[in-house]
Amino acid sequence: MRTGTRSALLVLADGRFPAGGHAHSGGAEAAVKAGRIKDADDLEAFCRGRLHTTGLTSAGLAAGAAHGLDPHALDAAADARTPSPALRAAARRLGRQLMRAARAAWPDPGLDALAAAFPRGAHQPVVLGAAARAAGLGPEDAAHCAAYETVGGPATAVVRLLGLDPYRATAVLARLAPDMDRVAERAAAAAGEGVDALPAASAPLLDLTAEQHATWPVRLFAS
Amino acid sequence: MDRVSLRATARIAADADGGLPLLVSDGPLALRRTRAPEPYTRVTVVGAMSAPLGGDRLAIETSVRAGARLLVDSAAATLALPGRSADPAAYDVRIDVADDGVLRWLPEQVVSVDGSHLRARTTVELAPTARLVLREEQVLGRHGEPPGTLTTRLTVRRAGRPLLDQELSSGPGAPGGWDGGAVLGGHRATGQLLVVEPAFAEKPVETRLLGEHAVIAPLAGPAALVTAVAPDALALRRLLDTALAALAPF
Amino acid sequence: MHLGHAHTHHGAVSADAHRPDGTRRALRVGLGGPVGSGKTATVAALCRALRDTLSLAVVTNDIYTREDAEFLLREAVLPPERIRAVETGACPHTAIRDDISANLEAVEELEDAVGPLDLILVESGGDNLTATFSKGLVDAQIFVIDVAGGDDIPRKGGPGVTTADLLVVNKTDLAPHVGSDLERMARDAKEQRGELPVLFTSLRSAEGVGPVADWVGARLAAWTA
């Protein structure tokens, strides 16, 4: 593992990193509308479930990319782990947006090559791992970043959607920290064993409601 | 139902001429050739009712050879039950379908009974021109009872490339949040129906919502996946049957 | 920023004046301003005034997805393939200033899909007086306020009023009805903006947008010079 700088991880994981995430709710907008998120407790259950499913899977892909696994194999693995076409489209779009920000932040031939290989965008976690690598970070750093994004996005979105007390939303994230650590550790360990060993944890409601959300004529978030 | 943990592997191989060169029952996994609609050969898994128990390791290996058309179903739901062993039970389904082969894999539900712990894994290798209909249904607990711990993984590769890879964990031994608004949200039955049809490469299935609880969606390869959640096994089966009729494959 | 890579790979640097194939990209003009000041009406009027002589496209940033885009589609000011809606996650000012990546995607996709383009209008979702466009996204920005929103808006200033390349004071026809003092607004704007231009418009007539269209034309002439 390369020796990363802790501060580079903060730059990459910062919600203000201009990579498009602010326009995505991670399924929270659909869950709010369906009445599955009404308060901070619901948000916590939602985030915990998302973290241990798509969060673990994304963290594995990101760790794999940071580890230097073949990005084509990782991207195919991401496709197979994303049965929702709306979520595949969102992941590629966010991958492109992240690529733009990452290349500006950490100019790197590896990122240039990945951008050239995937002109329509690679899956976001694959780009995230490559960005972490370009920033001098390791697989577990990339996995932490993916895990945190998985819960940070819905928490921010629910603050906007429900007017939820931001202190309670932040407390939810803080309570999830030990779970995030475990997910990142597990993802990084799997990445060390190759693409076939990567987690494939999935969430039926996220897949289902992503397709419902994509048909809404009026919505606040892109996904 | 006290007994020691067991290992059993049943085997099926189907040929293009309708023959079953391999039909090997093992332990609780009894296989029967049953009457089938033309042009399928049909195998029914019978007698798996009381298995798997904790610590058991069961497997079914199925090989659909070039040009064969096989239908596999089961006589009853598979009940995952608690056993004397603290180890989880394992149920492995390994499938390969050769070129021009067709497999309809339509077993009954897996019911995760209170106190049980089962890891079910289905691995499918498809040749480029193979076709597949595969149904998986999980029911979380017997009626009115809490569920056991269940992890199911479905991995499908086509022409050597990953097509679908999904794992779902539920029950008291699953990581947190499985019953929250992101994963199952209180639903007690969930299932998938996968249809792999090389012709979808030219004419992909369009995304279609089946009410609030199911969706038909195209995968990145020539395949469609139905994802469904429901309050119970009956409602789930209705959704998947509707989807199967809508997809109307081979 | 590593400008050296910008010409060889897709979408690397936001403010670069050239596309990956080396051609000059379209001029990007942002339109911002408070809710109801007439941003979308100004965009529609600009499209009608300029579409016969220029190759145009529009990106909208709604608070609610696609509302403004759908207005433009209904009004048929441009063919649908020339209008894109960016989803902003309830924060339109973030999408035009702090994280411009989705808007950059949209303008580049428009140039790829219907280009070459002369001009892309990027409309902000109605937000507040502090919302301004990033220089990484647009080459020039127009801030649209209206007389009915209160004739003290120019005096209050704020980044939009103070720094926009053009300030448009819209709905001048309403001034007598709402008791707004146009001369005072002009004086206050001059105070805040120095030499930066201010235009007073009423879009009730088709020619109302003319001065704004002329200003855009002059920016475009300078861009392509």
Q: How many cross-chain Cβ pairs, A to C, lie less than 8 Å apart?
A: 93
> How far A77 CA lies from chain C's nearest CA (Å)?
24
pLDDT reported for residue C5: 40
Return d(Cα B205, Cα B198) in angstroms, integer.
Answer: 12
What pLDDT does B49 receive?
55
Integer Cα distance of C73 and C50 in angstroms: 17
Q: Is the backbone peptide bond immediately before A178 cis, with ω within 30 degrees of 0?
A: no
Answer whether C touches B (≥3 Cβ pairs < 8 Å): no
Q: Which of C1, C63, C94 lies at the smallest CB-CB distance from A104?
A: C1
The string of pLDDT tens digits covering residues A40-99 is 999 999 999 999 999 999 999 999 999 999 999 999 999 999 999 999 999 999 999 999
Whether the pLDDT of residue C11 is over 50: the answer is no
**Concatenated DSSP letters of A118-149:** -TT---HHHHHHHHHHHTT--HHHHHHHHHHH
Q: What does the pLDDT look like over A4-36, one tens digit per residue?
A: 588 999 999 999 999 999 999 999 999 999 999
b/e map of A18-31 (b: 16 or more CB within 10 Å)? bbbbbbbbbbbbbb
With vertex at residue C208, the alpha carbon angle to CA C207 and CA C213, rounded to the nearest 5 degrees, is: 80
Q: Do A205 and B225 touch (CB under 8 A)?
A: no
Query: Which amino acid, residue A70?
Result: D
Return the pLDDT at A217: 85
Residue B220 to residue A79, Cβ atoms within 8 A: yes
Beta strands in C44-182 (DSSP E): 56-62, 83-87, 119-123, 140-146, 166-170
Can you give the pTM of this predicted structure? 0.92
Cα Rg for chain C, rounded, in angstroms? 17
Burial of B135 per CB tally in 10 Å (0-12, 13-18, 19+): buried
Contact residues, chain C, for A16 at CB < 8 Å? 98-99
| C13 found inside a domain | no
Element housing A213 (H / E): helix A204-214
Query: Which of the pair, A143 or C131, is modelled with greater confidence?
Result: A143
Give every CB contact of residue A14 below 8 A, 6+ residues apart in sequence. Answer: none
SS3 C97: helix
Residue C3: is its pLDDT beyond 90?
A: no
Name the maximum alpha-carbon separation found in chain A. 47
pLDDT of amino acid B131: 98
**DSSP line for A95-109:** HHHHHHHHHHHS--H
Residue A158 amino acid letter:
V
Q: How many structural domains compose chain C?
A: 1
* Bridge pairing between strands B110-112 and B41-46: unpaired
Testing the interface with C: which of A29, A103, A161 to mutate, by most C Cβ within 10 A?
Answer: A103
CB contact under 8 A, B181 and A202: no
Residue C7 lies inside a defined structural domain of this protein: no
Which of A31, A88, A215 comes nearest B220 by C-beta? Answer: A88
Please tell me if residue B211 touches chain A, with a CB cutoff of 8 Å.
no
Question: Could you tell me the CA-to-CA distances from C205 to A147, C134, C209 in Å, in that order?
Answer: 55, 32, 8
- Smallest CA–CA separation between A134 and chain C, in Å? 14
Chain A residues with CB-CB distance to C87 below 8 A: 23, 219-222
Percent of chain A with pLDDT over 70: 98
| Percent of chain C residues topping a pLDDT of 70 | 92
Condensed to tens digits (0 to 9), the pLDDT of residues C20-33 reads 777 889 999 999 99
Cα of B14 to nearest chain A Cα, Å: 28
Identify the bridge partners of residue C145 per DSSP, sorted by sequence position. C169
Kindly give, in sequence order, each residue whose CB lies less than 8 Å from that of residue B63, ignoring residues fewer than 6 positions away: B12, B13, B14, B22, B95, B96, B98
Name B185's bridge partners. Answer: none
Query: pLDDT per residue over C52-65, tens digit each?
Result: 999 999 999 987 76
Q: Which of B18, C116, B105, B193 is nearest to C107 (CA)?
A: C116
| pLDDT value at residue C78 | 93
How many Cβ pairs closer than 8 A exist between chain A and B? 135
Residue C11 domain-assigned (yes or no): no
* A contact chains, 3+ CB pairs < 8 A: B, C
pLDDT (0 to 100) of residue B187: 97
Do C66 and A217 count as a contact with CB atoms less than 8 A apart? yes
Contact B180 A45 (CB under 8 A): yes
Residues of A in contact with B175 (CB under 8 A): 48, 52, 179
Q: Could you identify the residue written with the tokens 């907008």?
A: A29
* One-letter identity of residue B29: L
DSSP 3-state assignment of B119? strand
Residue C14 lies in a domain: no
Question: Is the link from the previous residue into C116 a cis peptide, with omega within 30 of 0?
Answer: yes
Task: Match domain A26-210 to its CATH number in 1.10.4190, 1.10.10, 1.10.15, 1.10.3300.
Answer: 1.10.4190
Q: Decide if A208 and B213 are in contact by the 8 Å CB cutoff.
A: yes
Residue C67 included in any domain:
yes
Tens digit of pLDDT at every position of chain B (250 positions): 456 778 999 999 999 999 999 999 998 899 999 999 889 999 999 976 556 788 899 999 999 999 999 999 999 999 999 987 788 999 999 999 999 999 999 999 999 999 999 999 999 999 999 999 999 999 999 998 999 999 999 999 999 999 999 999 999 999 999 999 999 999 999 999 999 999 999 999 999 999 999 999 999 999 999 999 999 999 999 999 999 999 977 7
The Cα A15–Cα A22 span in angstroms is 8
Q: Is the pLDDT of residue C7 over 70?
A: no
In sequence order, what are the beta bridge partners of A99?
none
Dump strand ranges (E) for chain C.
27-32, 56-62, 83-87, 119-123, 140-146, 166-170, 198-200
Residue C15: the pLDDT is 65
Q: Which of residues 123-182 of A touch B (CB under 8 A)?
A: 179
Residues 88-127 of chain C whose Cβ lies under 8 A from any Cβ of chain A:
88-91, 94-95, 98-102, 104-105
Contact A83 B228 (CB under 8 A): no
| C142 alpha-carbon distance from chain centroid | 5
- Residue C64's domain comprises 24-224
Q: For residue A109, give how far its alpha carbon lies from the nearest alpha carbon of chain C (Å).
A: 10
H or E, element range at B183: none
Interchain contact, B220 vs A211, CB within 8 Å: no
Do residues A63 and A110 touch, judged by C-beta distance below 8 A? Answer: no
Whichever domain contains C176, its CATH number is 3.40.50.300
Contacts of C95 in chain A (CB under 8 A): 22-23
